[in-house]
Amino acid sequence: MHDNICLKHMGEICIDHETQDFINKSVLVLCGAGSDRSKLISDELNERGYMSSHRGVNWGDNKVESQDLDYIGIVIFSSFNEKREFDKLYPKLSNKIQKNKIKVFVFDITESDKNRAYDSNKIDDLKKQISKDLDNINLFNIKR
């Protein structure tokens, strides 16, 4: 009986409990090109039981689009630079995040950090940092 109670509205769409649960577990991760840093973060989230995808803000073939924010509960930016660029380049998408009350987190993993990790064969250290960052924002393993 309570499964059909409307929890909130996203535009004209009424969100039920099942859909809200899906949204709460859906994460979009953004970095410059949407291929390295965001993929590492997204892969870790998927391992933890979330439904995560990754896109780019600045360049590449994997740029973020409006539909990427549909039914997303969390957006993670790999660094403050990507957040700043996103807000500048995509004001309508920034508004969509605010309107839909999507949680936003910003990590401090720069392009230079990623390059150093790959160049010095310390990618596992970067993955450990990502794991700690996710724990710090309470995105723990939800697999059952």
Domain boundaries, the chain: 25-136
Task: Read off the pLDDT band of 64 (50, 70, 90).
Answer: very high
Looking at domain 25-136, its CATH superfamily turns out to be: Response regulator (3.40.50.2300)
Distance separating alpha carbons of residues 21 and 121, to the nearest angstrom: 38
Q: What is the mean pLDDT of residues 114-131?
A: 93
Structure tokens at 112: 């230079």
pLDDT one-digit tens code per residue, 23-38: 888 999 999 887 799 9
The model's pLDDT over 127-137, given as tens digits with 9 standing for 90+, comes to 999 999 999 99
Question: Between 111-119 and 37-47, two packed helices, what is the crossing angle to 10 degrees?
Answer: 80
